[in-house]
Structure 1
């Protein structure tokens, strides 16, 4: 997908809470919105270069969204609204091999007590519920999720198991918002319960997928299937 809004670089100063950050734009300190409730501590380091997306909404308190940052030479997109859009584009373009057979793509569909990102239906009315998780945490090529505890994420996985019990397909896709990932693993040190739930879901037949992305300051699109190590 292409980002059509104006994009500019800034220098990161600090992040007082989950939703706000202060950056230096051409020598002037400005408050910006952070569209990611994760910690992103290994990316948002004081003095690092970050990328802002201009939002032309007069009702907003901030003019810009902080959508990514540079970790060395690697740009990492951190916008939590992006993964579903990238995956939807990939589904429509048949870029995800396991899910190519599904021709009907529906967003935000409820099953049981959870609302999943996608409900997919093939030509024979077989259904698959798909949950998408954005991944921004990386250490020497190893990518991990989550970077903050997520009880909601654990519940999604357990609900996907209930989908399988009713004879439908279920999958979780970890979209790695950067290039060059070597493999993906659950981040047990951050949230052991999520890791246990992911392993349990896989044992019960839930498909666990990870893909990295082609990423630039003004674009992001799905790239390659990445090995999942549990």
Structure 2
């Protein structure tokens, strides 16, 4: 998907809080919004090149979102609002092999008391619930999630187990927001409970997907499956 908004280069200075960052843009220090509450410490390093997306909403306090950065020679997307849009486009284009037969794609739908990113339907009414997680933590081609403890993420996995036990399809898709990676696993060092929940979900028949992305200056698309190490 293309951003369809103006994208500008800047230099990262620091991140005084999880919502904002200081950057140098047009030789001037400005404050921009960071649409990712994760730590991103291995990405947002002082002096690195970052990408700003212009936002023209007059009610905003900042004029730009910091949506990506160069990590070495790789462009990595850090926008946590992007993964659902990328995955929806991929589902519509039948890119995820196991989910090709689902013809109706509904966003933000509930099952019981739980809300999931997608509800997929086949022509015969068969249901499938899909949760999406964006991944930005990468080291030497190996990616992990989460980069900060997430009780909400663990809860989603346990709810997907309930969906599966009901006879419906259930899955979680980890969208790795960087190209050319080798593998993915849960980040047990940061959140061992999430790792336990992910393994339990896999044992209960919940589908676990991990895909890399093609990331450019002006857009991001789902690319290819990545080896999962549980």
Conserved? CA contact 1:112–1:159, under 8 Å = no
1:128-152 CA-to-partner distances (Å, cap 9, x unmatched) read 0000000001000001100011000
Structure 1 residue 112: Cα displacement: 2.5
| Aligned residue pairs, count | 230
Q: Which runs of 4+ in 1 moved over 4 A?
A: none
Q: Which runs of 5+ in 1 are unaligned?
A: none
Q: Which residue of 1 aligns with 2:110?
A: 110
Does 2:145 match 1:145?
Answer: yes
In structure 2, list runs of 5 or more residues that go unmatched: none
Shift of 1:122: 0.5
Deviation of the 1:155 alpha carbon: 0.1
**Structure 2 Cα separation of the partners of residues 157 and 61 of structure 1:** 35
Alpha-carbon displacement from aligned partner over 1:56-104 (angstroms, at most 9, x marks no partner): 1110000000000110110000001110000000000000001001000
Pairwise CA distance, 1:123: 1.1
Between the aligned partners of 1:122 and 1:112, the Cα distance in structure 2 is 20
Partner of 1:21: 21
Alpha-carbon distance in structure 2 between the residues aligned to 1:172 and 1:161: 11
Q: TM-score, normalised by structure 2?
A: 0.99
1:41-70 Cα distance to aligned partner (Å, 9 max, x none): 000001111100000111000000000011
The aligned counterpart of 1:12 is 12
SS in 1 for 2:103: strand
Aligned CA-pair RMSD: 0.6
Deviation per residue, 1:150-192 (Å, 9 max, x gap): 0000000000000011000000000000100101000010100
Please tell me whether the aligned partners of residues 9 and 49 of structure 1 are also in contact (alpha carbons under 8 angstroms). Answer: yes
1:174 aligns with 2:149: no
Distance 1:114 1:25 in 2: 42
Q: What residue number does 1:99 align with?
A: 99
Per the alignment, in what secondary structure is the counterpart of residue 102 of structure 1? coil
Cα offset for 1:17? Answer: 1.0
Inter-partner Cα distance in structure 1 for 2:5 and 2:90: 21
Partner of 2:155: 155
> Which residue of the partner structure matches residue 189 of structure 1?
189
* Matched ranges for 1:46-85 at <5 A: 46-85=46-85
Structure-to-structure mapping, 1:195-214, within 5 angstroms: 195-214=195-214
CA distance in 2, matches of 1:25, 1:113: 45
